[in-house]
Amino acid sequence: MYYVVTGAAGFIGSNLVKALNERGETNIIAVDSFKKADKFKNLTDCEIADYMDKEDFLAKLNGGSFDGILRGVLHQGACSDTMESDGRYMMENNYRYSLDVLNHCQNEEIPFLYASSASVYGMGPVFKESREFESPLNVYAYSKFLFDQVMRRRWADRSGQVVGLRYFNVYGQREQHKGRMASVAYHLFNQYRADGYVKLFEGCEGYGNGGQLRDFVSVDDVVKVNMFFLENPHKSGIFNLGTGNAQSFNDVAVATVNALRAANGDAALSLEQLQQQQLLRYIPFPDQLKGKYQSFTQADIQALRAVGYKDAFLTVEQGTGRYVKHLLGASA
């Protein structure tokens, strides 16, 4: 019997493969697309039974090759580029693909854990798993929203575990292949090492410079929540996966720079000191993002707590410090 992880060479997918390995699971079918070949590096320290391209996997799935041999599917495969303008590609890749995998899991009565997104909430300001608070701003968000809607329509007829996890701003190891879509912490780490200072957007929509607020969640916590549901197959639902606490981009900058300074034996600096010393600088807010940018996100995690997930989440300071140490070790 095998687990399938789609998007297995991607950011969250590869962390899930590693987490399964740490639990003694190596019968894993890793599904992805190597059009961006560098993603293979995310799997070099992982143990898998087979790799399949997404198209081959779908053909075999729909042809019955996986009937009776799967224990569950962790479905992370998707186009996550919020600036992607090809709506047909987005809906085929994110929506239709997900339906095919869901249908197989329901027919086989096996767990189906999938990646949804906090982008379904649009501009907010309420981030609670309920239809009246959902208003996607782009076709990526709509593809995730529509699949969640299908799940709600089918809820009473489900035959196996179904868990949709609405990821907020995830950061952490194994995201280096994402380019401009990588986390703020990753970009700030590289900026500081290359230039000796970091850059954030100026203020917008009533927020001061670098003062926009997001729910930044460590991939370590994302993995823990996924494993919690895999270990509790009787628990189903659509859940926010964030810390429940919004922090500013300035907080991320301070945490990143100070973690790098600590690694060099230098004293920590306050936000004001970073600004005064020009170690933190602000650049104009892009016109193309105006009206399309989430200046505030904060997960309502009451539903997640209600099903029994009790672990504390890492703060930006804790998670970023851990992440910087990982990045420094990887680049040594």
Q: Do 54 and 100 form a contact (C-beta atoms < 8 A)?
A: no
Backbone angles phi, psi at 109, to 5 degrees: 60, 50
Cis bond before residue 284 (omega within 30° of 0): no
Tokens 């607020």, residue located: 213
Active-site entry in 178, 224, 235, 325: 178
CA–CA distances in Å: residue 231 to residues 23, 72, 235, 279? 11, 11, 9, 45
Specify whether 95 is catalytic.
Answer: no
Residues 6+ apart with CB under 8 A from 111: 71, 72, 73, 105, 160, 161, 162, 163, 229, 230, 233
Count CB neighbours of 51 within 10 A.
17
Q: For residues 31 and 33, what is the distance between their CA atoms, to the nearest angstrom?
A: 7
Token digits of residue 55: 């198209």
Neighbours of 296 (CB within 10 A): 16
Per the listing, tokens 């809607």 go with 149
How far apart CA 173 and CA 161 sit, in angstroms, is 28
120: which 2 tokens? 């379904």
The pair of three-digit structure tokens given for residue 201, joined into one six-digit string: 């957007």
Active-site pick, 2, 121, 140, 323: 140
Asked about 178 being catalytic, the answer comes back as yes
Backbone φ and ψ for 288, nearest 5 degrees, come out as: -70, -15
Which amino acid is it at 66? F
Q: Give the number of other Cβ atoms within 10 Å of residue 214's Cβ.
A: 22
Q: Which residues are catalytic?
A: 140, 178
